[in-house]
Structure 1
Amino acid sequence: MQRHHFRTGLALAATASLAAGLGAAPAMAAPDGSGLVINEAYLSGGSANAVFTNKFIELYNPTDAPVSLDGWSLQYRSAGGTAAASAAVELRGTVPANGYFLVSGGSNGDNGSPLPPADLATSFNPGGTSGTLYLADTGTRLTLPTGSVAGAAEVVDLLGYGSSNTYEGTAALSPAGNADPRSFNRTGAVDTDNNRADFTLSGSVTPTAAGGTGAGPDPDPGPEPEPEPAVERSIAEIQGDGGSTPLAGQRITTRGVVTAAYPTGGYDGYYLQTPGTGGDEAPAASHGVFVHSPATVGDVRVGDHVEVTGTAGEYYGLTQLSVPAGGASVLTEPAEAVKPLAVDWPVDDAGRERFEGMLWDPQGSWTVADNYALNNYGELGLAYGESSLVEGQTALLQPTDVAPAGSSRAAAVAAENGERRVVLDDGSSVDYLGSDANKDVPLPYVAPGSPVRVGASADFIGNVVLDYRFGAWRFQPLARLTGANAAADQPAAFEDTRTPAPSDVGGNVKLASFNVLNYFPTTGEQLAGCTYYTDRDGEPVTVRGGCAARGAADAENLERQEAKIVAAIDGLGADVVTLEEIENSAAFGQDRDAALATLTAALNERSPGTWDYVRSPRAVPADEDVIRTAFIYRSDAVRPIDESVILDDPAFSNARQPLAQTFMRVGGNNATKFVAIVNHFKSKGSPPRDGSGNDDLGDGQGAWNAARVDQAEALVAFAEEMKDYGNTDKVFLTGDFNSYSAEDPMRVLYAAGYVNQGAKTGKHSYLFGGLVGSLDHILASPAADAVVTGRDVWNINAVEPIALEYSRFNYNVVDLYEASPYRASDHDPVIVGLQLDKHPPGKGRGARP
C-alpha cells in the first residue's frame, strides 16, 4: 500500500527551472510561509527496501517570486557534532515561485529505482537515521550551537532528526534504520520552527523537480474520483498463496477478529484473523492480515469482531489493507475465537508466507541470538532450535568461525542461519535513541538485574503475531511493548546465564587475554577539538571524534568505565592478563605506560599489593597507533624475565605491533618459563577499495584479510625468535586477531603448529550482525599446549546488551548501569590454566635423559 502525503494548498510550477538571477523572494524560513523550506528528505537511498537508489532533498518555494540558490549550500552535521558542518554541497539554479527544486545525493547501495531527473545532482550523503540537515544562504560551512536553533543567522531552513543535538524546536522522529524506506515529509509546507511538528515519516516518497517532474502530486488533480465499489473477500483470498496479494489495488470488504492492535508507536494499525482459524492447521494461504488504519485503530480492541473496507496492497513485503476513516465497524454478532498457531517454525519464506499476520504460540526451543538493537529499536534476534551442523550450538554462528571462507560447509552455516532466524519486536517502529521523548520511554525486554543475553533460552509465555517489516520476519507482541508494560504484555521470558567467574581452568598459573574497549585515562575534556556522543540530557559520555582520545568524555565517565574493567579483570582470576585497546600514552606526550600504570593502580585499590605491569622496552617503534597492547600480572604468581620486546615489522604498519614477554612462575626455575605475545591485528572495516586482496571480497572475512595474513606470517617468525630469546619452547599467542577461527590468518598460525585453546571450549568471544564467533584467541605452541590444563571463554561482554555498557549511560530513562563485570567491553576474555612445574614428567632428578 502506498502511504500518500499531500502538500496541502500547494501547486507545482508548470514551467521548467527559471534562469539564475531572476527576482528573489525573501530567503529566511518563517512560519508565515515567506521563505524557502526543506520539503522532503529521503535519506535511505540504495539501502535494503529502498524506493529509490539515491538520497534526495526536495526544496519548496511557497512565495510568488522565484528564489535563486546561487551561492547557497546544503550542509550536514552528524547527530552529536558540535563543530562546523561535516559535509556541504554548493547549490546553483532557481526555485520557481510556488515550485520545487530537487537535489539528488549519494547512495547506500544498489537497491531501489532511479530518481526522476533532478535539478542538481550531487554526492551529498547525510546520515539516514540521525543528523542535522540545513539549507544555508552561504557557501561557508556553518558552526551551529546545539539545542533549538530556529532563526539562526544564515540558516534558511533546518531539519534535525533522530538523536541530533541540533534542531528547530524538537528533533523530528527518525526512521527505524537505513532499511526503513520512509522519507521526512513536511506537512503542507508549513514551517512552525518545530521539526517534530512539521515533519512526518511517510512511505509515500515523492521526489519532485522544478518542472513538476517526478513522483509528486498532479499540479491540478481535479476532484477525487468516486471509489470503486468494494467486493467481499476472505482474508485468505486477500493474502493469496504467493508472496504478495493477488488483489493489489482493489477495494475489499472483509471480516475478522482483532488479534493485536498498535494505536501508538508508528504501526498505526491492527491485525485481523479469520474467526476459528489457527491451531495446528497449515493453511495454503494465511488467515491473518494487517490493517493499516490510523483513523480507526483507536476504535478497536483485541478480541473484537470487525468488518473493514479498504484497499489491498503490499507495504514492502507485508500484505495489508489500507482502511480510511469510517472504513471499520465493530460487529455485534459473535465470532468463533481465533486459536494461536501451534506449528513448527517454517524454514523458508514460502512457508512463513502461509502464516503471515496470524496469531502464534511459538513451539520448540528458542535462543536469544542478537540483542545489539535492543536499546535502539527494542528488538531481539532469536534462533529456532539447535544447529544441525555444529553440535550443541543454539545461537547463530559466523560461517568463517566454523569453516574456511568459500567452503561448502561455511555456505551451509550461512544458509542455516537464515532458516533459524526471526526477530522478536516490540510492536513499534520507535527509535529509542531518537528524540528526547523516545529516550524517556523505558526500554522493552531489558531491565536492571534482568539481562537478555545472547545464548540464553527464550521461553514464550504469551502469543505473538508473525509479520514482515524492515526486511525481516518478526514476532510482534499483541500490543506495543515498553518497559512500563512488560510485566503484563511481554511475550517471552529469558534465562539468566550469567556466571560470577569463568570455569575452573586448573593449573598453577592462569593466562588470559582481554580487549578493554578503548580504555583511555586521557579523556576528551583534557583535549581540544573533541566531539562527543551524548546522553539524553545532552551531557557528553564518550569521545566521538575531533581529537586523539577514543574513550570516556570526562573523569566521571572514565570512573564508570574503569569500575567495570577492574571488576572484570579481578573476577577473571588470571595471573597474567594480556591487554588490547589500552591507551598508548606516548601519543599524548606522556610516558608510554601512563595509562597502563593508571589501570594497575585501580586494580590495586581493589586488591592492594596484587598487580604490576610490564614496562615498555627501551626500543619502541617510531610510528605507533594511539592504542596498544600490554601486560599486567599478579606479582605473587609470576615475574617477568628480561625486557619485553616489540615486533617492529612493516606488516603491522596499519595495526598494533605485537608485544612479547617471558614470564617465570614465582618460586620456579627455567622449566616454568613461558613466552606470551599479545596481538591486535588490523580490523575488518574500511576497505581500501583499490582492487587489492585487502578489499572486502565478500567471502565473509571482511576487509584487510591479506594484511592480516601478512601479520600472521610475521608473528610466526617473531615467535620463533622469542623461543630463543626466552630460552623456552612454550609460546602463547594471545589477543584480538580480528579473524574468526577458520579464517586465513588463523590458518597460517595453525599451519605453524599453534593450537587454538578457545576453540576447544565451544564458546565464542564476539557478536557481530547477530552471529557469534571468536576474534579473541589464545594459541599455544606444541610444548605450551602440553601444559594447558583447561580453558574458558568468560561470556561477560559480547553476549550482554550494549545498553548496559558505560558508553550508554543515561541513554534511557531507566538507569541500567552497574559497576559489575558485565558489559565491561564488547569482547569476552579468554583464559587458560597452565601447570608449570620445576621438574616436568621425565625431567626430574634421576630421570633418564
Structure 2
Amino acid sequence: MYEETPSVARNVGSGRRPRRAVYPVISVAVAGAFALTALPAAYAAPSATVVISEVYGGGGNSGATLVKDFIELGNAGTAAHDLAGYSVQYLPGSPSASSLWQVTALSGSVAPGGRYLVAEAAGSGGTAELPTPDASGSIAMSATNGTIALVSGTTALTCKTAADCAADSRIVDLVGYGSAVVREGGGPATGASNTASVARAATLADTDDNAADLAAGTPTPVNSGGGSTDPGDGGGDGGGSTEPGTVRVHDLQGTTRLSPLNGQTVTRVPGVVTGVRATGSRGYWIQDPRADADPRTSEAVFVYTGSATPTVAVGDAVLVSGKVTEYYPSSTSQSVTEITGPTETVLSSGNPVPDAVVLDSASVPDAYVPTAGGGSVDALPLQPDTYALDFYESLEGMRVELSDARVVGGTTAYDEVWVTVKPGENPSARGGTLYSSYDQPNTGRMKVMSLDGTVAFPKADVGDELTGTTSGPLDYATYGGYNVQATRLGTLADHDLTREVTRRQKGRELAVATYNVENLDALDAQEKFDRLAEGVAVNLSSPDIVALEEIQDDNGAVNDGTVTAEATLTRFTEAIRAAGGPSYSWRYVSPENNRDGGEPGGNIRLAFLYNPERVSFTDRPGGDATTATSVVKTKKGARLTYSPGRINPASDAWDSSRKPLVGEFRFQGESVFVIANHFGSKGGDQPLHGRYQEPTRGSETKRHQQAAEVNTFVKSLLAADKDAKAVVLGDLNDFEFSQTVNTLTDGRVLTPLVKTLPAAERYTYVYDGNSQALDHTLTSPAITHFDYDIVHINAEFADQASDHDPQIVRIDVSKCRK
C-alpha cells in the first residue's frame, strides 16, 4: 500500500472537503438545568465602539423572506475597529451539558458608524439573498431563542450560564434573545421569529441590558459597504441592480496563481453558469463570454456556496457579489480562486455556455512547471505557452474538453478516472503512461469526475477509452491537482484489459515472488482472501517462496495488543490451497505492538510463504522483534545466526516502519537467502502539482537510511561468501531511478531486475495516472541465470484485490555461480 492518501482525505480530492462543515445545533431544553440568572453589574462597561447590532435566526424558515441567518455588528465609535482575531459565537438558548459554542471567525474592520454583516446558515425557504456579507459561517441559529457573543479570539467559549460568561473577559458584547439563559441584564431581547430579528436602535446604544437595548422588527441586514436587502427585490445587493460592476472575472483571476483582489469584496461580477456542484463542496462556476486578450487570465471562477445548494442552473446569466478568496485544499497544494459568501442576481436563463478550450497534444505544453528553488510558484507570472501547470492555471474554472481520451488510471472508489490527452506521451505496454524520471511528470494526465450524480460513473481500466467529447469546468483539488468536472462525459469503450498469468517454474528453477496484499487480516471478507489467493495460485503459478507485505495481526485494526498473525496466514494459505495452489507453510517475526507503522492496531509485518514440497526453511531460533540476525562465515559458506530474523531492528532507520525479514532457505542442495522489505511510505511528500517547486520529497531520507542498512547486510553476506545467492525484494516505496535503489545497490552488490525489462513494462503501481515501479526484486552477483516478470493483475484495474502488482523471479540454481 502506498500509504500516501488516507481514504478520508481522498474526499477532498473528490470535491468533498472537510472544511466549512455545518455542525448541528444541540438544543435540548432541560427544565431547571440552568438558573435564569441575570449578568451581574460587574459584567463589562457598555461598549462605546463595536456591538452586536442585529440578530436574525429565521433565514430560510417557513414564512421567511431572507434565505440565511445573519449577525450584524455596528461601530458606535469614532474610529475604525479592527476585527482581525475576533469571532462571533452562538449557544442554544437553553444549553444542555453537551451544548457547544459554535464559532465564525471574522476579519477586516468595521468603520465608525458603520455596519459589518456576518452571514450564517441558509434554510430551504426564502426568496431574498443577504447583501454581500463581510464574513460567512455555517451556524444554524434558532429563530426564536439563543445567545450570540462577540469575542476577542476565535477559541470556542465554554461558559453556559450568565454568571460564568460575565466572568470571561474575552466577551466584548453579548445578546441573548427569546428565552435565552445566557444574556445581559434583566432579561433577553424578545420577539424574535421566522420573520423578525432583534436589533438595537440606530444610535447603537448599549446599556448591557438586552431586553432594554434590542427590539423585534423586520430584518434589515446592512454590510460594510452600506448595502442592504429589500425583501421585495428578489435578493441581490445594492437594491438588486442589474448592471454589471466594474470587476470582470479576468480582473480577479489576474496573471499569477493568486488573485490581485484576494480578500476584497467584489460586486456584480458578470458571467454565465457553466457547471453546478450540488453535493460536497457546493457551488457553481461562472465564465465571462467576453474574454480579454491576455492568455494568462482565466475567464472563469468558482462561486463557493458552502452548505447551501446552489439555486442557479447551467446557462443562467448572473451577476455575483461576494468576497474573493484563495482556498488552499492543503498546505502544499496550489490554491483555488473563489468568490465566497456570494449573492447573485439571475438576469436570464437558457443562455449558451462559452466554447470549451481543447486539451490535446497541441495545446498542452511539454514542460511541466517552472521551478522556484523549492519555494512557492504562487507569485510567478504565468507562462501558459511554456508550462503545463501554468496553462491549466490560466484555464482555472473555464470550460475545457478532451476527445477520445485513453484511460491511464482505473476508476477509483471516489468515481474518478485518469485519462491522458497526449496518447503518445511515455506509453506503457498495456495502455498507461509511464513515470520514468523526476523531470518527466507527464503533462497530459488529467483526472475526470462528473457533476451529474444521476448517471452511474463508468468503471474503466487502464487502456480503455472515453470516446467522444468529455467537457466541463477545470477544477483543482488536493489529490491529483487539475481535474475536469464533467458536465458531459464521454462514452466508455472497453478495451478488455486482461489480468496476466505468468508461466510455471521448471524443475530446476526456484520461483521467488513478492506481493503487497494491502492490510490483509483475519477479519477481512472471504472474497478478499479468495482473490488474493487466486493471484498467488493462478496468476503467479504457485511460486516456491512468496514474500508478503502488509500482513496484519489476527484482529486487524483492533488496537488491543494482539501481534500474532497465525489466523490471518491460516485463512490465506487455506484460500490458496482452495484456488489450486500448494499447502504453504509460513514464517515471520511478530513486531512489537504499534512499532512498525501502518494502520494503528494492525501491526503490519512481512511474512514468508513457502512450498515445503519444493523448498525447505532453515530454522535458526532466537530472532525476535528487537534481536538482529547477522551473518556467520563457515566452511560451507554463509549462514544466519537467526532464521527468520530481522536486520538491525534497533536502528533509527526503522522507527515506525517495517523491519526487513531475512530467511535462509534450501533448494536442491543450495542455500538461498531471501530478504523481504517494506520501506517507509511516501506520506508527507509535496505533490508533483503543488505550489512548491521542485517538490520536497522528505520521506526519502528514511528510505535512504533503510536502503543503506539492507546494503550493509548484503555486503556482510557476500563477505562471508562471495557466491551467496541472495534475493532482496518487496515494496520499496520508491522508483527504479531513485537514490533509494542506488543506495541499495551501492558497490554493485545487487542487480535491480526491473531494469532488465523493456521500459514499457517497468511498473507495479498506478498513482494519479502515472504507471510507476514501487515494488522491486534485486539479486546478488552469483545469480546469473533468471527469468523475471511483473505480473499485472491489480494496479491497472478499477476492481483490485490489492493496489500493487506482484512480481516473480525464476532462478536456475544449477547455472548460478558457485
TM-score, scaled relative to structure 2: 0.54
What SS does the corresponding residue of 1:490 show, helix, strand or coil? coil
Alignment of 1:746 with 2:773, yes or no, is no
The aligned residue for residue 461 of structure 1 is 468
1:580 to 518, 540, 549: 549
Structure 2 CA distance, aligned partners of 1:387 and 1:236?
35
The aligned residue for residue 634 of structure 2 is none
The aligned residue for residue 475 of structure 1 is 484
Structure of higher CA gyration radius: 2
CA-CA distance at 1:594 after TM superposition: 5.5
Structure 2 CA distance, aligned partners of 1:518 and 1:758?
25
2:752 to 753, 756, 766: 756
1:604 to 568, 577, 581: 577
CA contact (8 A) 2:678 2:731 kept: yes
> Counterparts of 1:73-472 in structure 2 under 5 Å?
93=169, 95=171, 98=174, 223=228, 225=238, 230-231=243-244, 242=255, 260=275, 267-269=282-284, 274=289, 284=295, 289=300, 292=303, 307-311=317-321, 316=326, 317-318=336-337, 326-330=345-349, 341=358, 344-347=362-365, 348-352=388-392, 359-363=399-403, 365-369=405-409, 374-376=412-414, 378-385=415-422, 402=436, 410=438, 412-414=439-441, 417=442, 419-427=443-451, 445-446=457-458, 450=459, 452-453=460-461, 455-470=462-477, 472=481
The aligned residue for residue 22 of structure 1 is none
CA-CA distance at 1:328 after TM superposition: 1.9
Structure 1 CA distance, aligned partners of 2:734 and 2:762?
15
Alignment of 1:659 with 2:655, yes or no, is no
CA-CA distance at 1:613 after TM superposition: 1.4
CA-CA distance at 1:750 after TM superposition: 1.8
Structure 1 CA distance, aligned partners of 2:90 and 2:314?
50
CA-CA distance at 1:513 after TM superposition: 0.4
Give the 3 Å change call, closer, same or farther, for CA 718–322 of structure 1 in structure 2: same
The aligned residue for residue 729 of structure 1 is 724
What SS does the corresponding residue of 1:783 show, helix, strand or coil? coil
The aligned residue for residue 766 of structure 1 is 765
What one-letter code is carried by the residue in structure 1 that aligns with 2:583? W
Alignment of 1:514 with 2:527, yes or no, is no
CA contact (8 A) 2:72 2:222 kept: no
Deviations 1:671-691 (A, max 9, x none): xx533222233445589xxxx
> Counterparts of 1:700-719 in structure 2 under 5 Å?
701-719=699-717
The aligned residue for residue 791 of structure 1 is 789
Give the 3 Å change call, closer, same or farther, for CA 41–380 of structure 1 in structure 2: farther
What SS does the corresponding residue of 1:98 show, helix, strand or coil? strand
2:534 to 561, 567, 582: 567
What SS does the corresponding residue of 2:802 show, helix, strand or coil? coil
Gaps of 5+ in 1: 18-24, 43-54, 76-90, 101-155, 157-188, 192-215, 404-409, 429-440, 479-488, 522-551, 688-695, 802-821, 844-849
Deviations 1:745-777 (A, max 9, x none): 321332233111234343322345665433321
Alignment of 1:824 with 2:794, yes or no, is no
What SS does the corresponding residue of 1:740 show, helix, strand or coil? coil
Structure 2 CA distance, aligned partners of 1:759 and 1:833?
16
What one-letter code is carried by the residue in structure 1 that aligns with 2:700? G
The aligned residue for residue 541 of structure 1 is none
Give the 3 Å change call, closer, same or farther, for CA 283–491 of structure 1 in structure 2: farther
Structure 1 CA distance, aligned partners of 2:304 and 2:673?
67
The aligned residue for residue 499 of structure 2 is 500
Q: What RMSD, in angstroms, separates the aligned Cα atoms of the two structures?
A: 5.8
> Counterparts of 1:637-656 in structure 2 under 5 Å?
637-640=614-617, 643=620, 644-649=643-648, 650-651=650-651, 654=655, 655-656=657-658
Deviations 1:699-754 (A, max 9, x none): 46535235314422333235437858xxx632211122333323333213322331
CA-CA distance at 1:325 after TM superposition: 5.8
The aligned residue for residue 40 of structure 1 is 104
CA contact (8 A) 1:753 1:782 kept: yes
TM-score, scaled relative to structure 1: 0.53
CA-CA distance at 1:799 after TM superposition: 3.9
The aligned residue for residue 381 of structure 2 is none
The aligned residue for residue 490 of structure 1 is 489
Gaps of 5+ in 2: 1-19, 21-65, 83-88, 107-135, 160-166, 177-181, 183-191, 195-220, 230-237, 327-335, 366-387, 597-602, 621-642, 686-693
CA contact (8 A) 2:90 2:146 kept: no
What one-letter code is carried by the residue in structure 2 that aligns with 1:602? A
Structure 2 CA distance, aligned partners of 1:558 and 1:282?
58
Give the 3 Å change call, closer, same or farther, for CA 289–639 of structure 1 in structure 2: same
> Counterparts of 1:823-842 in structure 2 under 5 Å?
823-837=800-814, 840=815
Structure 2 CA distance, aligned partners of 1:290 and 1:519?
44
Deviations 1:194-233 (A, max 9, x none): xxxxxxxxxxxxxxxxxxxxxx986996856557772599
Give the 3 Å change call, closer, same or farther, for CA 386–600 of structure 1 in structure 2: same
Give the 3 Å change call, closer, same or farther, for CA 5–568 of structure 1 in structure 2: farther
Give the 3 Å change call, closer, same or farther, for CA 345–499 of structure 1 in structure 2: same
CA contact (8 A) 1:362 1:460 kept: no
The aligned residue for residue 175 of structure 1 is none
CA contact (8 A) 2:563 2:591 kept: no
Give the 3 Å change call, closer, same or farther, for CA 9–516 of structure 1 in structure 2: closer
CA contact (8 A) 1:684 1:704 kept: no
What one-letter code is carried by the residue in structure 2 that aligns with 1:98? L
Give the 3 Å change call, closer, same or farther, for CA 386–30 of structure 1 in structure 2: farther
Give the 3 Å change call, closer, same or farther, for CA 463–515 of structure 1 in structure 2: closer
Structure 2 CA distance, aligned partners of 1:825 and 1:383?
24
Stretch of structure 1 that moved more, 578-587 or 827-836: 578-587
CA-CA distance at 1:779 after TM superposition: 0.6
What SS does the corresponding residue of 2:700 show, helix, strand or coil? coil
What one-letter code is carried by the residue in structure 1 that aligns with 2:703? N
What one-letter code is carried by the residue in structure 2 that aligns with 1:328? L
CA contact (8 A) 2:408 2:769 kept: no
What one-letter code is carried by the residue in structure 2 that aligns with 1:764? Y
Number of residue-to-residue matches in the alignment: 566
What one-letter code is carried by the residue in structure 2 that aligns with 1:425? M
CA-CA distance at 1:827 after TM superposition: 2.7
CA contact (8 A) 2:533 2:576 kept: yes
CA contact (8 A) 1:729 1:781 kept: yes
Give the 3 Å change call, closer, same or farther, for CA 639–14 of structure 1 in structure 2: farther
What one-letter code is carried by the residue in structure 2 that aligns with 1:413? Q
What SS does the corresponding residue of 1:782 show, helix, strand or coil? coil
What SS does the corresponding residue of 1:833 show, helix, strand or coil? strand
CA-CA distance at 1:322 after TM superposition: 10
CA contact (8 A) 2:791 2:807 kept: yes
Give the 3 Å change call, closer, same or farther, for CA 700–370 of structure 1 in structure 2: farther
CA-CA distance at 1:38 after TM superposition: 0.7
Give the 3 Å change call, closer, same or farther, for CA 491–64 of structure 1 in structure 2: closer
Deviations 1:644-677 (A, max 9, x none): 3414523365344433334455xx454xx53322
